């Protein structure tokens, strides 16, 4: 008898799960399936699991391919199970190619082809069907999305769009997507939602067209570069009953949200000053230093720092002022933004050819918060007081590249919208409509000052 084993979450059981189990069973005579607990999923970075463990077990059993079901609840269990059950073949989907090669010393490892289109689900629920999302753009940020999305339940990266087909097709092949397109209208017809990671200046038109087509939109920062465009897009999204969300990953991450909550709790007293920095010395010849209209330090990295200021001190600043060190082509190599509020100040610093300490400091009347570099990947921060011997330490997980957190919140928002709640999502307080509009307004003022 040839024994085969595979593992998974099997949340929102769909055609991809069915196909995996079918092909796994074809590899041998006896199929064992390990189903993860909710706690183990969280510990390994899987977010947004909807179905209970019992429901997931029932769905796997109902496929008709499984001879035995076990529960996976701790690291290292796969090796234990292979030895315990005398397994001959370990198999998982091809999106994990290479990850489990180390298992070859215990049994044969087979990577099964991934089902690229899971829109035809075996089990769909009205409350949370799988979101079929299309990726707009094929650059550095876009490449992170498929890898992070596979660790979020309820979403499936389906296809990719780029007006240049010679970029889109290799992207599709590399990430095992179902299709590619260089025609945006045809692309939109095949998806439920879009993730926009194209150049800054294209965001507005791509987002508007998607919203008018009834598609949900997750758009990379800066979402738009004008206040009027932000207002228009949010109004259109509400009118068309779709989710619009700006993808500043830090805003959705556990550590940063904990920092915001601590700052607002009164522990450090009244917040009087915020200093936020994010800089990187970019490779020569990149868009950040060559695009004379939309490149530069603030448009590239400013959204993170400006978001922190707005989250901590609010949208109603009295004045904003910009100072820049410029490149020969007129782009800002390094920019400071100065805010004044009624009872507070703030400064942000961003660089593309200048490096500075990347910390976030929140000063209050009873103490201050220090989040060390890179604070935008918040994993730890300290609360310090007048008494130097008193320091409160906080820590939180930051999984992968952080993009999975925004994908999880977006997926929840879409599910909430589909359930008939026109308020979109209780979780979009992490970056509200008003805050995104305020960020677009600051970007517009900066670009006007640079001209």
What is the DSSP track for 364-433? ESS-EEEE-SSGGG-SEEEEE-SSTT-EEEEE----TTSHHHHHHHHHHHHHHHHTT-TT--GGGGGS-H
Beta bridge partners of 364: 271
Select from 55, 61, 66 the least CA-distant residue to 22: 66
Return the pLDDT at 120: 38
CA nearest 95: which of 175, 161, 149?
175
Q: Which residues of the chain have pLDDT under 50?
A: 119-127, 424-427
Task: Please report the pLDDT score of residue 286 as a whole number.
Answer: 87
> Dihedral sign, CA of 153, 156, 162, 166?
positive
Q: Strands, E, within 49-200: which ranges? A: 68-72, 89-93, 108-112, 131-136, 155-161, 179-181, 193-196
Residue 111 · residue 93 · CB < 8 Å: yes
Q: Which element (helix H / strand E) includes 276?
A: strand 271-279
pLDDT reported for residue 43: 79
Q: Would you state the pLDDT for residue 121?
A: 43
Measured CA to CA, the distance from residue 371 to residue 380 in angstroms comes to: 7
Nearest residue to 187 (alpha-carbon basis) of 133, 130, 131: 133
Reading the block at residue 225, the tokens are 């570069």
What is residue 426's predicted lDDT score, i.e. its pLDDT? 41
Q: Residue 125 has what pLDDT? A: 44
Does residue 300 sit in helix, strand or coil? Answer: helix
How many CA atoms does the CB half-sphere of 404 hold within 13 Å? 21
Determine the pLDDT at residue 421.
60
The first and second tokens of residue 137, run together, are 């753009």
Do 9 and 41 touch, CB atoms closer than 8 A? Answer: yes
Please say whether the beta carbons of 23 and 35 come within 8 A: no
Which spans in 199-349 are helix H? 203-212, 227-240, 254-264, 287-290, 297-313
Name the strands in the sheet holding 89-93, side by side, starting at the edge strand that comes first in the sequence. Answer: 68-72, 30-36, 3-8, 89-93, 108-112
Joined tokens for residue 120: 């035809």
Domains contained in the chain, CATH given: 3-112 (3.40.50.620), 131-247+402-429 (3.40.50.720), 254-397 (3.30.360.10)
Q: What is the structure's pLDDT at 66?
A: 95
Tell me the two tokens of residue 332. Answer: 């800002």
- What's the pTM? 0.83
Please name the helix (run of DSSP H) or strand (run of DSSP E) that holds residue 170, with its range, or none: helix 165-174
DSSP-based three-state secondary structure for 35:
strand
At 418-438, the pLDDT tens digits run: 776 655 444 467 899 999 999
């Amino acid at each position: 008898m040839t024994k085969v084993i595979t593992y998974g979450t099997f949340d929102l059981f769909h055609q991809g799960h069915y196909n995996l189990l079918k092909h796994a069973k074809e590899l041998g005579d006896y199929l064992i399936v390990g189903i993860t607990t909710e706690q183990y999923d969280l510990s390994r970075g899987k977010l947004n699991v909807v179905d209970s463990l019992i429901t997931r077990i029932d769905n796997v059993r109902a496929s008709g391919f499984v001879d035995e079901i076990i529960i996976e609840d701790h690291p290292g269990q796969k090796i234990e199970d292979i030895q315990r059950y005398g397994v001959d073949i370990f198999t998982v989907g091809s999106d994990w190619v290479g990850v489990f090669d180390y298992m070859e010393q215990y049994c044969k490892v087979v990577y099964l082809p991934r089902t690229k289109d899971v829109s035809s689900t075996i089990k769909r629920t009205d409350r949370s069907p799988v979101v079929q999302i299309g990726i707009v753009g094929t650059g550095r940020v876009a490449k992170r999305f498929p890898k992070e999305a596979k660790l979020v339940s309820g979403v499936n990266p389906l296809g990719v769009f780029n007006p240049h087909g010679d970029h889109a097709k290799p992207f599709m092949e590399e990430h095992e997507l179902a299709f590619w397109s260089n025609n945006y209208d045809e692309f939109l017809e095949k998806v439920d939602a879009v993730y926009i990671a194209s150049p800054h200046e294209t965001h507005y038109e791509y987002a508007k067209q998607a919203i008018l087509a009834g598609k949900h939109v997750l758009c990379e920062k800066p979402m738009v570069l004008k206040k009027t465009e932000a207002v228009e897009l949010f109004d259109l999204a509400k009118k068309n009953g779709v989710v619009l969300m700006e993808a500043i990953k830090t805003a959705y991450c556990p550590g940063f949200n904990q920092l915001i909550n601590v700052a607002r709790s009164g522990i450090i007293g009244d917040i009087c000053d915020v200093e936020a920095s994010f800089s990187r010395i970019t490779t020569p010849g990149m868009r950040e230093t060559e695009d004379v209209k939309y490149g530069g330090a603030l448009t590239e990295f400013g959204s993170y720092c400006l978001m922190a200021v707005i989250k901590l001190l609010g949208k109603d600043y009295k004045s904003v002022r910009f100072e820049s060190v410029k490149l020969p082509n007129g782009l800002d190599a390094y920019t400071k933004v100065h805010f004044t509020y009624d009872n507070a100040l703030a400064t942000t610093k961003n660089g593309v050819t200048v490096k500075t300490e990347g910390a976030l400091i929140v000063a209050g009347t009873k103490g201050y918060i220090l989040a060390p570099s890179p604070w935008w990947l918040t994993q730890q921060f300290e609360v310090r007081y007048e008494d130097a011997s008193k320091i409160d330490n906080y820590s939180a997980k930051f999984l992968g590249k952080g993009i999975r957190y925004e994908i999880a919140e977006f997926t929840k928002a879409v599910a909430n919208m589909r359930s008939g709640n026109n308020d979109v999502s209780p979780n979009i307080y992490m970056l509200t409509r008003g805050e995104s509009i305020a960020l677009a307004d600051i970007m517009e003022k900066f670009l006007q000052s640079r001209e």
